[in-house]
Amino acid sequence: MFPHNPPNNTVSPRSEMNGSVGDPGVRGCSPWDDPARFIVVPAAYAMALGLGLPANVAALAVFVRSGRRLGQALRLYLLNLALADVLFTLTLPLWLTYYLGPAHWPFPEAACRAAGAAYYAATYAAVAFAALISLCRCGSVRGPRPRAPGRLALRRRGPARPARAACAAAWLAGLACAAPSLAAPHALRPGPGGAARCLEHGWARAGLAYATVAFFAVAFLLVLAAYVSLARALTAPSGPGPAPAGPHRRAAKTMVLGLLLVFALCLAPYHLLLAPWVAGREGATGGDGGECRAASTLDVLHTLSLALLSLNSCLDPLIYCFSVRRFRQDCWALGCRPGLGAPGAHVASLASSS
């Protein structure tokens, strides 16, 4: 029988997503021995699934119907962000089953690999798209700049080909974070009490965890810089040339501020705790002796940060509600009043936010 913490003490983002000290729920332990892992996280996942999935599917439908009037680059980034959130929420039924097992994977090994890869690919692709949206909205408010050869279309009405290249790069970055779950020699391994553990053993280098922290830090700084630039643009006197309309400038600032708050509230706690948590796991020696032991304070905080991480998929549609004019009415028309869902109506209402 394989131990939960292998001797090499290697850690990975995917293994830490499910890992905690002592394996509560098996070996005679109760979920109440680690309520953060077996009660709070499933509750957060259930909320993200129940609220985030329908909201993001509705957002996806609205953005698909928006045509080109929303702006090719911005529309592509918003559509892909909603798609990443949908993909993330679609993995949650599997992880809910796993946590409520508790800590037993009843599905095939291929499902374990796919769920792990999709979880992290969607998470970090969404981080990349949030950064692209922030830069896009900032560029649309700051006004036209001299064109540079090979520059990606980050402004709202940039050509579609560079925007597609940026989207492809964002998905590749997400897949890079998910690659170890696909390449793990053994995604499923036996655990105590006959449980099947999904990606809970050391199967990747700890350096991957630090790389994801660096990736998030760069994206966070880009969103922060975009918001600061927007705030300065809105307070400074208008320069030469035509200035964007007031409602558009305010909507752009609202969208970037919303993304910045999601980064700070949902994503930053997880990434701030990841480095010290990994260092603590690497510094630990030996196993748990086959008995339950209480999770450390850092383990609990890290587990709670995973719950916050999952809620970001619920908050993105709220950002659309307050930064895309008539977004709520368009969603209502799509879901409840099909007669009002003519493509022209949705295009016109979405275009008013650009």
Higher pLDDT, 94 or 194: 94
In degrees rounded to 5, what are phi and psi of residue 286?
A: 80, 175
Question: Is residue 15 a part of any domain in this protein?
Answer: no
Most confidently modeled range among 30-39, 111-120, 292-301: 111-120
Residue 253 lies in a domain: yes
d(CA 19, CA 38): 11
pLDDT, averaged across the chain? 75
User: Is 287 part of any domain?
Assistant: no
Residue 28 lies in a domain: yes
For position 10, what pLDDT does the model report? 41
Question: Mean pLDDT across the stretch 314-342?
Answer: 71
pTM for the full model?
0.79
In a domain, 111, yes or no: yes
Tally of domains within the chain: 1
Range of the structural domain that residue 76 is part of:
22-144+151-282+292-317
Question: Residue 182 is which amino acid?
Answer: L
Query: Quick check: 266 and 5 in contact, CB under 8 A?
Result: no
Q: Would residue 163 count as lying in a domain?
A: yes
Residue 172 belongs to a domain with what CATH number? 1.20.1070.10
Tell whether 12 is covered by a domain. no
Among 77-86, 220-229, 298-307, the minimum mean pLDDT is found in: 298-307
Q: Is 189 helix (H, G, I), strand (E, B) or coil?
A: strand
Q: Which residue has the tokens 């030469």?
A: 240
309: CB partners within 8 A, 6+ apart: 123, 266, 267, 269, 270
Q: Is residue 254 part of a domain?
A: yes
pLDDT at 336: 46
Distances (CA, A) of 46 to 49, 166, 321: 5, 32, 22
